[in-house]
Structure 1
Amino acid sequence: MRPGTFVRLAVAGNRTDAARVALTALSALLASLAVLAALSVLAIQTPPGDSGAHSEQYTNALLREPGLRGGTAFAILLLTIPVLALAGQCARLGAPTRDRRLAALRLAGATPGQVTGIAVLETGLASLIGTLIGLASYLVGRALLHRPDTDGRLPLPTDVLPTLPELALVVLALPMVAAAATALMLRRITATPLGVVRRTRRAGPPRPWPALLIALGVLGAALFQPIREASGDRLTRWFFVGVLVVAFAAVLGVILGAAWISRQTGRLLHRHASSPAQLLAAGRLSEDPWAGSRTFAALLAALVFGAGAAAFRAQFQLRDDIERKQNWQSDFGDGRNEFYLRAVDLVDLAVAVAVAIAAAGLLVMLIEGITARRRTYAALVAGGVPRATIGVSILWQVLTPMVPAVLLALGAGYTIGRLLNPDIVLAGDWETVCRATTELCADPATRDRHTELVRTGGMTYSPDVPLDQLALLGAGAVAATLLTVGLGVLFLRQNTAVEELRAG
């Protein structure tokens, strides 16, 4: 097959295929903007001389201080997680129509490898278009936002630019990753002239083994501080790496555990169902419990990071309160806690954007699910089931596993964040204590062998549990889901017409 034919077949399709390509390009655009913004922060040069010197050309302390730029870039990169999850969800949009188109190509003589190559090329081209638009948007935005104040200082790092190899890597690597992910997802699927066949299916119901990943993340967070204290400053540079590994284990455990939660809540809902809508939702949850892991992946990941950020905020706020209360000039008196709180503000902003992006991905999944099961829903409507009942069943299907999954994500994220931030111990005075009998302590010849210095009068402060912030995160996620379900149900009427019973 000629390359030109490959390209024409990859871009061919109906309006649903065009929407899938557009959403994939949008995901690549958002991901490229996040990566380019993080690279811009890391490209800031520290003034020569002292490695801790501040870059005074910026108004924001997160950009001025070298020690805060890594955390700032890390917070920005968090945005790529829900964006990539959104890209994976967009790839499923219009899957039944695409499957029929691939089957037609096989019937026309295309090989299985050529059919897979067409699907991979479609994703790669869409992602490449998105990254190119993202690069252009970054360069234009950099020029428009370059506005120094009266002192010549900048609010954003618009005076620096990532290197040319870094720009090329972002533009080319993201489409390659998207294409590789598409090829990986299609490795167990074969397009035949009679349709698309999945070679292997998940065997058996989901198991609760993902809880081990969550426990591994919690254990790693609990051991992180003792290992760091025992090793001194040698592990300081690996702090963000360790946090990322621990958080990834917990996020993966929460996402995979959503399947087990879906199955258990489906069984519980079936046992106590009191309406046809609940029975329909319970049947769907029991039939495909893995849909929960696919649907809520980006949202649960954002909540884990958001709850962890809430734990860090509580710790920094406690340090700041102690400083203000006692007016310390050492240990906590350098004013850096305000900078850290601003860094956490950036993480909170990233989490809010991530929740919005995850809600958009959830909307894509709901529309795709309604479209894929339109014949089933049309048969229910033809049999006398009201459309309102089907809409309520979709609401039950989404919210029933989501609420416990959200609680699990918030609990895991906060627990890990709390373990990474131990209690604050304020030192007291050193006193000499003799650990022996009265006779040995009274004898000058033996007293020195049994005496030791002990710190007394110290105080330990523990940060409060930020219930208000955790509740706001959970309520925001549920509210975004309710809004998404409401928008998705709007597509129910046009996909439950009786004519859909004759659709292919």
Structure 2
Amino acid sequence: MRAGTLVRLALAGTRTDTARVVLTALSALLATLAGLAALTVLAIEKPPGDAWAESEQYRNALLREPGLRGGTAFALLMLTIPVLALAGQCARLGAPARDRRLAALRLAGATPGQVTRLAVLETGVAALLGTLAGLGVYLGGRELLHRPDAQGQLALPTDVLPSTGAVAAVVLGLPVVAALATGVLLRTVTTSPLGVSRRAGRERGPRPWAGVLIAGGLLTVAAIRPVLSRLNDDNDVLLRLVPLLLLVGGLTAMIGVVIGTGWISYTCGRLMRRYARRPPALLAAGRLMADPWAGSRTFAALLAAVIFGAGAAVLRAYFAAQDALDREQNQLAGAAGGSDPFYLSTMDLVDVAVAVAVLIASGGLIVAVVEGIVARRRAYAALVATGVPRATLSRSVAWQALTPAVPAILLALTVGTLLGRGLFGRVASSGSSVGVCEASAALCDDPATSAQYTRVVETPPVERVPDVPLEHLAWLGAGATAAVLVTVGVGLLFLHSSTALDELRAA
């Protein structure tokens, strides 16, 4: 099959196929913007001088100070996680209709390899269109936002560009990764002229091995403070080990939470099947046990955002406790003021990033719920034909979404809090001695008389444990739960059309 024919067949299909391509391209566009923004921050050149020399051409301290750029770039890269999860959900949109189209191609003489390459090419081409559009938006926005103020300072790093190789790696690498991921997912799929079948895995439910990953991630992050205590020897190996431990520990715990959602779904389904008495809960229990990993796929991006948000809430509590401790120490010494409010104000930007991540994850949830309803429309229509009220089906869909979501969100909040507490568990202030002159300004300024009016105030070293940010965590959990409720409500709008009796005659 020629390349042109493959591309034409990959982009063919119904309106659902077009929507899938457009949404996949949109997800790739957002991921490209986040990746290029992170590379732009890292491309800022260090000004001449010592290691703490700042880039004075920027207004924001996150861009001026060299030590803060790595964290800023990391936060931007973290935004790609919910975006890539959204792309994965969009790729499943309209899967039954696509399966029938692929089966028709097999009936027309296409080989299994050609059909697989067709599905892989569809995702790759859609992602490539999105990354190219993202590159165009990035370059156009760079020109539009390059507006220095009266002092010649910039709000964004529009005066620098990442290297050509880095840009090409993002623009071309994301479609390649998307295509490879599609190929890996299609390993268990067999397309025949009579339809698409998937090789089923083991019949038993998920095991709680995800707890091992969560515990391992928490212990890895908890080991960072002992490593930091040994950095007095200027050991470069230990210095490089700290960010690696943070990255490995955080990702391991996050993967454990996402995988653990499958076990939570299966366990909730078993409990509901045993103790529930109403039809909606029993229907939801059957679906949860039949496909427990649907929760892991559906809530992955949302749980990642919740973990990151809980860690950010702990960090905010740490900065607030440090500021309060510095103020107390300054009052004891007779001075005024507290710590630099820059860090607390920066946490507002982090909260905005978490809100954006939750919003993007909500888009993935909507696609997943709608796709699940549409994919099972014939089963729902059959239930309605046998006398099951549509209200019962609506409540069963809500039970199926909320039952694993609530404990999974609580688990994500707990893991994110423990990760933050393991790294920022205590605030400390070293003791100091401050001379306070208790006389008039003239006597204090005179070296001959200032000594007799000056007394030494010693502040002892203090160490405190910051408060657990329960209010912030409650708002974060409520926001994530509300996002699930909204997505369920949007998905139920498609339930009425998907339960029409005409669906029983659909091919």
> In structure 1, what is the Cα distance between the partners aligned to 2:326 and 2:339?
11
SS in 1 for 2:230: helix
Separation of aligned partners in 1, 2:357 and 2:214? 21
1:19-34 correspondence to structure 2 within 5 Å: 19-34=19-34
Q: Deviations over 1:78-108 (max 9, x none)?
A: 1001111111111111111111111111111
Q: Distance in 1 between matches of 2:42 and 2:180?
A: 27
Cα pair 2:41 2:73 within 8 Å, conserved: yes
What's 1:421 paired with?
Answer: 424
Partner of 2:447: none
Q: Does 1:251 align with 2:254?
A: yes
2:360 aligns with one of 357, 370, 386: 357
CA offset digits 1:179-204 (Å, max 9, x no partner):
11111111121211111122342441
SS at match of 2:494: coil
Offset, 1:391: 0.8
Aligned partners of 1:200 and 1:287: how far apart in 2?
Answer: 11
Alpha-carbon RMSD: 2.1
Q: Answer with 197-206 or 300-309: which moved more.
A: 197-206
Would you say the 8 A contact 2:390–2:496 is kept in 1? yes
For residues 154-210 of structure 1, the C-alpha deviation after alignment (integer angstroms, 9 at most, x for no partner) is: 111111111222212211011111111111111121211111122342441101010
Counterpart residue number, 1:35: 35
Single out whichever of 152-161 and 271-280 deviates more from structure 2.
271-280
Instruction: Give 2:10's aligned residue.
Output: 10
| 1:409 matched to 2:412 | yes
Within 5 Å, give how 1:83-482 maps onto structure 2: 83-232=83-232, 233=234, 234=236, 235-327=238-330, 337-428=340-431, 457-482=460-485
Contact kept? 1:317, 1:337, Cα under 8 Å: no
Matched residue, 2:498: 495
Offset at residue 229 of structure 1 (A): 1.3
> Counterparts of 2:144 and 2:470 in 1: how far apart (Å)?
40
Aligned-residue offset at 1:67:
0.4
**Contact 2:330/2:337, CA 8 A, preserved across alignment:** no
Moved more, 198-207 or 365-374: 198-207
Which residue of structure 2 aligns with residue 64 of structure 1? 64
* Residue range with higher mean Cα deviation, 463-472 or 273-282: 273-282
* Contact residue 316 and residue 337 of structure 1 kept, 8 A: no
Residue identity opposite 1:178 in structure 2: A
- The one-letter amino acid paired with 1:71 is G
Tell me the alpha carbon deviations over residues 409-455 of structure 1, each in whole angstroms, 9 at most, x when there is no partner.
Answer: 0000110111111312334489xxxxxxxxxxxxxxxxxxxxxxxxx
- Deviations for 1:281-308, whole angstroms, at most 9, x for unmatched residues? 1121122111111111111111111111
User: Structure 1 CA distance, aligned partners of 2:318 and 2:256?
Assistant: 25
- Write the deviation string for residues 378-429 of structure 1: whole angstroms up to 9, x where unpaired: 1111112111111111111101111010000000011011111131233448
Partner-residue secondary structure (3-state), 1:296 = helix
Structure 1 range deviating more: 165-174 or 70-79: 165-174
Unaligned ranges ≥5, structure 1: 431-455
Distance 1:153 1:398, change over 3 A: same
**Whole-angstrom CA distance in 2 between matches of 1:311 and 1:37:** 26
DSSP 3-state at the match of 2:243: helix
Secondary structure of the residue that 2:428 maps to in structure 1? strand
Does the CA contact (< 8 Å) of 2:123 and 2:178 recur in 1?
Answer: yes
Q: Secondary structure at the match of 1:152?
A: coil
**Residue identity opposite 2:22 in structure 1:** A
Mapped contact 1:309–1:417 kept (Cα < 8 A): yes
Question: Would you say the 8 A contact 2:322–2:339 is kept in 1?
Answer: no
8 Å CA contact 2:322–2:428 kept in 1: the answer is: no
Label 1:228 to 1:203 Cα distance change in 2 as closer, same or farther (>3 A). Answer: farther
The amino acid across from 1:123 in the alignment is T
Letter in 2 for 1:39: L
Match of 1:48, as an amino acid? Answer: P
* 1:296 partner amino acid: F
Alignment TM-score, normalising by the size of structure 1? 0.91
The question of 1:53 aligning with 2:29 is answered no
Identity of aligned residues (%): 63
Q: What is the DSSP-based 3-state SS (H/G/I as helix, E as strand, rest coil) of the residue aligned with 1:494?
A: helix
Residues 57, 154 of structure 2: 8 Å contact kept: yes
The question of whether the paired residues in 1 share the 8 Å contact of 2:284 and 2:400 is answered with yes
Q: Is the 8 A contact 1:362 1:484 kept in 2?
A: yes
* Matched letter for residue 79 of structure 1: L
Question: Given that residues 324 and 338 in structure 2 are in contact (C-alpha distance below 8 angstroms), is that contact kept between their aligned partners in structure 1?
Answer: no
Aligned-residue offset at 1:278: 1.4
- Asked if structure 2 preserves the Cα contact closer than 8 Å seen for 1:315 and 1:421, the reply is yes
Provide Cα deviations, 1:221-250, integer angstroms capped at 9, x if missing partner: 121111221244533444333212111001
Preserved CA contact (<8 Å) 1:147 1:154:
yes
CA distance in 2, matches of 1:309, 1:10: 42
Cα distance in 1 for residues equivalent to 2:50 and 2:432: 35
Q: 1:33 to 1:202 in 2, by over 3 A?
A: farther
192 and 312 in structure 1: CA distance in 2 versus 1, 3 angstrom threshold: same
Is the Cα contact below 8 Å between 1:76 and 1:347 reproduced in 2?
A: no
Gaps of 5+ in 2: 434-458
| Partner Cα distance (1:329, 1:343) in 2 | 28
- Return the alpha-carbon distance in structure 1 between the equivalents of residues 240 and 472 of structure 2: 29
**Structure 1 CA distance, aligned partners of 2:341 and 2:120?**
47
Q: Which moved more, 1:306-315 or 1:333-342?
A: 333-342
